């Protein structure tokens, strides 16, 4: 029996997933979490797989919750299930230790197969996500790093360099250095143009 924790801040999503897994004899939803903090806490209660959303309404977000879960000895595998497929989201989740990454529009049979694969310790990536990672590996190196994407996502939110530095625990000089590299890679000369270009390329989330 594969014991599941569903971490999503939408009750309807949790209910739908619970109903889906109830049809499978080897899958058992043993806990639910509405926040990242709850997901970390409940993951320690005999869970095999955590189905993790990336975006919660407040508090700890999915990538950080994934990182904290995977730091524990004997931690469960984490399978990200989200609406977001930007490079920043995918790379952030994979670097945090996620065993798989699926989008919420995935067919139910694909989701169930991914859960079983993750429980076996196998990677479970949606085809579009796998293609995105492969393209990045084969690129000329001009894609944004995870940190650069984080910086630019905060720029897109209208944050100042000082605010960004505080949020990411960086110096303002480091933030400015990241922005210089971002502008060079995207061949732009302003923050607005950088955000627009990165959104067009799928590096950061659309507005």
Per residue in 3-53, pLDDT (tens digit) is: 999 999 999 999 999 999 999 999 999 999 999 999 999 999 899 999 999
Question: What's the fold here for domain 2-137?
Answer: Rossmann fold (3.40.50)
pLDDT of 139 over the 70 cut: no
List C-alpha distances in Å: 51 to 41, 47, 75, 172.
Answer: 14, 11, 13, 36
* Every domain of the chain and the residues it spans: 2-137, 146-201
Question: What 3-state class would DSSP assign to 131?
Answer: helix
pLDDT digits (tens, 9 = 90+) for 167-201: 888 899 899 989 988 998 888 888 999 999 999 88
Same fold: 2-137 with 146-201: no
Average pLDDT of the chain, as a whole number:
90
The average pLDDT across 201-205 equals 86
Question: What stretches of 126-196 adopt beta strand conformation (E)?
Answer: none
CATH of domain 146-201: 1.10.10.10
């Amino acid at each position: 029996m594969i014991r599941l924790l569903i971490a999503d801040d939408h009750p309807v999503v949790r209910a739908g997933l619970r109903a889906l897994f109830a049809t499978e004899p080897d899958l058992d939803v043993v806990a639910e979490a509405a926040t990242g903090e709850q997901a970390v806490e409940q993951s320690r209660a005999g869970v095999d797989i955590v189905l993790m959303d990336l975006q919660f309404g407040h508090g700890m977000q999915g990538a950080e919750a994934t990182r904290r879960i995977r730091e524990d000895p004997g931690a469960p595998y984490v399978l990200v299930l989200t609406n977001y497929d930007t490079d920043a989201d995918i790379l952030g989740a994979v670097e945090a230790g996620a065993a798989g990454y699926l989008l919420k529009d995935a067919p139910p049979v694909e989701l169930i197969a991914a859960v079983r694969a993750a429980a076996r310790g196998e990677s479970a990536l949606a085809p579009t996500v796998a293609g995105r990672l492969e393209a990045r590996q084969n690129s000329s190196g001009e894609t944004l790093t995870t940190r650069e994407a984080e910086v630019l996502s905060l720029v897109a939110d209208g944050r100042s360099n000082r605010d960004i530095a505080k949020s990411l625990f960086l110096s303002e000089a480091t933030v400015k250095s990241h922005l210089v590299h971002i502008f060079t890679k995207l061949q732009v000369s302003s923050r607005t143009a950088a955000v627009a270009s990165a959104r067009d390329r799928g590096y950061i989330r659309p507005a």
